[in-house]
């Protein structure tokens, strides 16, 4: 069943944006640019449109917020067995000289998903199913050096994770089981424009998170729009819960 548009939060890297549903599913993404053909489009069609979804099972409560002053999304899931925190970001690297009106960054053409267990234990799986060119172009998927590479003509999407990935047809999946204090990562890289060095471990993913948070906070510090409250938007904390 399609979700209402108000169910979605947005993350981006100044070149492309992903729409992420309250349940953690990436249901819309055009890559490598805002006007590129969508490769995740479940937002428009549940059956034909691909997504990058996460299944935790037994979810009792969900809360979301953006990390203050950033475009980094944090979703907290309370399940029957524990509490998980999913952090979603598209890495942004600052230019060498930031303009007065605010920095325009260079993106890695990546979407990083960090899932941390904060309490108890959690288990589930991520499922990645791209449908290139608005689901009009068939793709192939194959395992390659511990990653999964999807190809559709000149379009490529690489999936890497901190646990083993399996491939079945045009779908990649990875199962996880985490105890309190443990973190899992899943990384999607657009193979056509992905020129940054590969991220090979959790430390590399966290480094991207730190750099991206710092980028957005520098950007938001320059923001003077006060909204309805009259306060600069960087001073407000964006949050929603259900």
CA distance 227 to 1: 34
DSSP state of 230: T
| Residue 28 token pair | 């819309």
User: What integer pLDDT is reported at residue 3 of this predicted model?
Assistant: 86
| Residue 6 token pair | 């108000």
User: What integer pLDDT is reported at residue 1 of this predicted model?
Assistant: 60
* Residue closest to 158 by CA, chosen among 194, 134, 183, 132: 194
Q: Please, what is the end-to-end C-alpha distance for the chain in angstroms? A: 19
CA distance 201 to 233: 34
On the CB side of 202, how many CA atoms lie within 13 Å of its CA? 9
CA distance 85 to 49: 26
* Per-residue pLDDT tens listing for the chain (242 residues): 678 899 999 999 989 999 999 999 999 999 999 999 999 999 999 999 999 999 998 899 999 999 999 999 999 999 999 999 999 999 997 766 565 555 566 778 999 999 999 999 999 999 999 999 999 999 999 999 899 999 999 999 999 999 999 999 999 999 999 999 999 999 999 985 556 678 889 999 999 999 999 999 988 888 777 777 766 554 444 434 44
User: What integer pLDDT is reported at residue 61 of this predicted model?
Assistant: 97
* Cα–Cα distances in angstroms (integers) from residue 139 to residues 142, 171, 174, 192, 230, in the given order: 10, 10, 19, 15, 49
Q: What's the CATH number of domain 5-241, 3.30.70, 3.30.1920, 2.70.98, 3.40.1440?
A: 2.70.98
Every domain of the chain and the residues it spans: 5-241
pTM > 0.95: no
| Residue 74 token pair | 């944090």
DSSP state of 110: E
Q: Residue 101, Cβ neighbours under 10 Å: how many?
A: 7
* Residue closest to 54 by CA, chosen among 112, 116, 3, 128: 128
Q: Residue 131, Cβ neighbours under 10 Å: how many?
A: 23
Task: Return the exposure string of 69-100: e unless at least 16 CB atoms fall within 10 Å of the residue's CB, then b.
Answer: bbbbbbbbbbbeebbbbbbbbbbbebeeeeee
């Amino acid at each position: 069943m399609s979700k209402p548009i108000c169910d979605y939060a947005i993350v981006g890297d100044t070149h492309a944006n992903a729409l992420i549903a309250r349940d953690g599913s990436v249901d819309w993404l055009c890559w490598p640019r805002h006007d590129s053909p969508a490769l995740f489009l479940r937002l428009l069609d549940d059956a034909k449109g691909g997504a990058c979804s996460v299944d935790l099972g037994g979810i009792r409560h969900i809360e979301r917020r953006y990390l203050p002053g950033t475009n980094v999304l944090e979703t907290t899931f309370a399940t029957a067995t524990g509490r998980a925190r999913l952090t979603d970001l598209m890495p942004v690297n600052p230019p060498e000289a930031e303009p007065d009106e605010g920095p325009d960054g260079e993106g890695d053409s990546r979407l990083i998903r960090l899932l941390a267990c904060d309490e108890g234990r959690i288990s589930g799986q991520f499922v990645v199913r791209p449908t290139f060119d608005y689901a009009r172009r068939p793709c192939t998927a194959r395992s390659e050096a511990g990653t999964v590479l999807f190809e559709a003509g000149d379009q490529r999407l690489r999936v890497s994770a901190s646990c083993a990935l399996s491939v079945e047809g045009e779908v990649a999946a990875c199962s996880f089981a985490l105890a309190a204090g443990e973190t899992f990562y899943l990384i999607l890289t657009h193979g056509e424009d992905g020129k940054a060095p590969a991220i090979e471990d959790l430390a590399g993913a966290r480094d991207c998170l730190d750099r991206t948070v710092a980028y957005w906070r520098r950007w938001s510090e320059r923001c003077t729009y006060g909204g309805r409250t009259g306060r600069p938007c960087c001073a407000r904390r964006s949050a929603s819960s259900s």
